[in-house]
Amino acid sequence: MNKQVTNKQKNKNKSLDEINNTVTVNTNGKFSQKLFSFLGPGLLVAVGYMDPGNWITSMQGGAQFGYILLFVILLSSLSAMLLQSMTVKLGIATGMDLAQATRHFLNKPIAFIFWIIAELAIIATDIAEVIGSAIALNLLFDIPLLVGALITIFDVFLLLFIMRFGFRKIEAIVGTLIFTVLFIFIFEVFIASPQVTDVLNGFVPNSTIVTDNSALFIALGIIGATIMPHNLYLHSSIVQSRMYDRNDIHSKAHAIKYATIDSNIQLTIAFVVNCLLLVLGSALFYGANTEQLGGFYDLYQALQQEPILGASMGAIMSTLFAVALLASGQNSTITGTLAGQIVMEGFINLKIPNWLRRLITRLVAILPIIFCLIIFKSNEEKMEQLLIFSQVFLSLALPFSLIPLQLATNNHHLMGQFKNRTWVNMISWCLIIILSILNIYLIIQTFQEL
């Protein structure tokens, strides 16, 4: 990682050229006005931290172990904030996204392998989102799972249509869907009426997390499923949508400052959503027969039949749960398709029409789902197992994103004065090693459970 990187090299190919340097920012107003102009990219990143793949783990954790795993969610969220801040610096300081930076320092054969792994990670992410959306459509409108999966193909064209009106519109839609999910779970937790003191105590480290094998397994699941490879590629690109002087150090520093604040604010919202999921699982199901809470259908039916809520409130809660699941799936669809474009253009510099790129990604993701639905005749349990397998692959792919991120952001020729500080390097390397080990352990345990 010792090649000299010139400005000409950095700017040869803009990341996501259609949105790069298109959003105006306020550089002379009050702090709040400046921050507002940078708010948005963090919203798209936060989606990956509350996607359908995370839901089951959080609610199962609350149902089985009460509130003690809230500490794990807090630890995971703080780790995510650090790693995403590194992607912000990479994108703004260099003018390259993570895919481009990785490609720059690898020879063609190795870069090709990294590209394949990144593409498969995007597909695995898309599988989870399609499954979540299809299940939500089935729960809400009784649409067959196969039809629901096919309907999600049109999401791709909807995204393309919206982008014609500017990237800010995408950010606004994603923000609306995120706050829909947030308010639904705030309402559901309010109805469930957890004990506030018990919830707060959940943020204090508890020895049960490491001494109880079942608690440890779910804790590792929460950590392992939190940081998604596609988010690292996505964030390093979309922060470049803002109009700042690419050749001025002070302008870059200003952009990094506010983009990092944006990231931390939105990841805090994702942290709150994940906490609400766990609190809801604990408040309603802790001490009950948690073996029956294996998937989305189980949770939906459990909410309907929960005696604490009553029949009418149970029906409302379960419906809102399905609406939140649909909103989460749609949100993740937007970010997944953008990340797919970033990876393809960044690694192999292949530019094809946006509609074709996104259609190919979605079709490749849908094929295993259609195959599963046809072979197993729309078996819900098999669908949810496919979702688990998609999360397993994401765990495998994560080090192939984290290690290049660390090496790139610690390269002086690439980053200049924005190179990682020593404490950032120490923490990030520890996180990379720990996350890699935990993910390997998770993969082994997952296959043993199936």
The pLDDT tens digits along the chain (450 residues) read: 444 444 444 445 788 888 888 888 888 888 988 999 999 999 989 887 887 767 777 887 888 888 999 999 999 899 999 999 999 999 999 999 999 999 888 888 888 888 888 888 888 777 777 888 888 888 899 888 888 888 877 776 776 677 777 888 888 888 888 888 899 889 888 888 889 999 999 999 988 887 887 787 778 777 766 777 888 999 999 999 999 999 999 999 999 999 999 999 999 999 999 999 899 888 887 876 555 555 778 778 877 776 666 667 778 888 888 888 888 777 777 777 788 888 888 887 776 776 776 677 667 767 777 777 777 655 666 666 676 677 667 777 888 899 999 999 999 999 999 999 999 999 999 988 887 887 777 677 766 765
Number of H helices, E strands in the chain: 22, 0
Contact 98, 233 (CB under 8 A): yes
Instruction: Outline where 204-310 has alpha helix (H).
Output: 208-211, 213-226, 229-238, 249-285, 296-305
Give the single-character DSSP code of 203.
T
Which SS3 state, helix, strand or coil, does residue 5 take? Answer: coil
* CB contact at 8 A, 273 and 181: yes
Q: What is 30-449's CATH number, 3.90.1150.10, 3.40.50.720, 1.20.1740.10, 1.10.3720.10?
A: 1.20.1740.10
Q: Rounded CA gap, 371 and 389, in Å? A: 15
C-alpha 422/C-alpha 410 separation (Å) is: 9
Q: Do 125 and 401 touch, CB atoms closer than 8 A? A: no
Handedness of CA 64, 67, 69, 70 (dihedral sign): positive
Judged on CB neighbours under 10 Å (0-12, 13-18, 19+), 194 is: buried
Which residue do the tokens 């073996």 mark? 291
Give the list of residues 6+ apart from residue 332 with CB closer than 8 angstroms, or none.
47, 48, 51, 52, 125, 128, 129, 132
Residue with tokens 């791709």: 156
Look up residue 184 and give its DSSP letter. Answer: H
Taken in order 240, 363, 389, 386, the sign of the CA dihedral is positive
The rounded radius of gyration (Å) of the Cα atoms in the chain is: 21
| Cα–Cα distance measured from residue 126 to residue 120, given in angstroms and rounded to the nearest whole number | 10
